[in-house]
C-alpha cells in the first residue's frame, strides 16, 4: 500500500531562516512525488513535482529513493510562505493514478 508521512503538523520559523518540511513515503515501485500548497482561503495548488527538478518560489525538493524521502526546502523563508503544505505520491501510468496525500504541515513564518 502507498503511504505518505509528514511528521510535523506545525512548523514555525523566522523570516530569513532556512526551512525544511519533511516527507517520507512508502511505495513498492517508482512513484511520482509532489508538493501541494494551500494558502489561506485559497484552493490546493501544485507547488512542484520531482520529475521537473525545478525551483518554485525558492523551494526545492529532492527525491531520495534510498531514504524514501522528498523533503521540501527553502534557504530563506518569507512571510508569504506561511501556508499548509501537503506532500503527495502518485503511482505509475496505466492505473487511475490517484494522489495519496500526507496529513500536511502548517508552516508559519514569523516576522
Partner 1 sequence: ETGVTQSPTHLIKTRGQQVTLRCSSQSGHNTVSWYQQALGQGPQFIFQYYREEENGRGNFPPRFSGLQFPNYSSELNVNALELDDSALYLCASSPGGASGGNTIYFGEGSWLTVV
Give the footprint of partner 1 on this chain (CB under 8 A). 4, 6, 9, 42-46, 86, 88, 90, 93-104
In angstroms, give the least distance from the CB of 19 to partner 1.
19
Question: Residues near 85 by Cβ (< 8 Å), separated by ≥ 6?
Answer: 6, 21, 35, 36, 37, 38, 47, 72, 104, 105, 106, 107
Complex with partner 1: residue 4 or 19, whichever CB lies closer: 4
Number of Cβ atoms within 10 Å of the Cβ of 103 = 12
In angstroms, give the least distance from the CB of 14 to partner 1.
25
Complex with partner 1: residue 15 or 106, whichever CB lies closer: 106
Question: Residues near 92 by Cβ (< 8 Å), separated by ≥ 6?
Answer: 29, 30, 31
In angstroms, give the least distance from the CB of 30 to partner 1.
15
Complex with partner 1: residue 43 or 111, whichever CB lies closer: 43
Complex with partner 1: residue 29 or 43, whichever CB lies closer: 43
In angstroms, give the least distance from the CB of 99 to partner 1.
7
DSSP 89: E
d(CA 27, CA 69): 11
Amino acid at each position: 500500500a502507498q503511504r505518505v508521512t509528514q511528521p510535523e503538523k506545525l512548523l514555525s520559523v523566522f523570516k530569513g531562516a532556512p526551512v525544511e518540511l519533511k516527507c517520507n513515503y512508502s511505495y513498492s515501485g517508482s512513484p511520482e512525488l509532489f508538493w501541494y500548497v494551500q494558502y489561506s482561503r485559497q484552493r490546493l495548488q501544485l507547488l512542484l513535482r520531482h520529475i521537473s527538478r525545478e525551483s518554485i518560489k525558492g523551494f526545492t525538493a529532492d527525491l531520495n529513493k534510498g531514504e524514501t524521502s522528498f523533503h521540501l526546502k527553502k534557504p530563506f523563508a518569507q512571510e508569504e510562505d506561511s501556508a499548509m503544505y501537503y506532500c503527495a505520491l502518485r503511482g505509475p501510468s496505466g492505473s487511475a493514478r490517484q494522489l495519496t496525500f500526507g496529513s500536511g504541515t502548517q508552516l508559519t513564518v514569523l516576522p
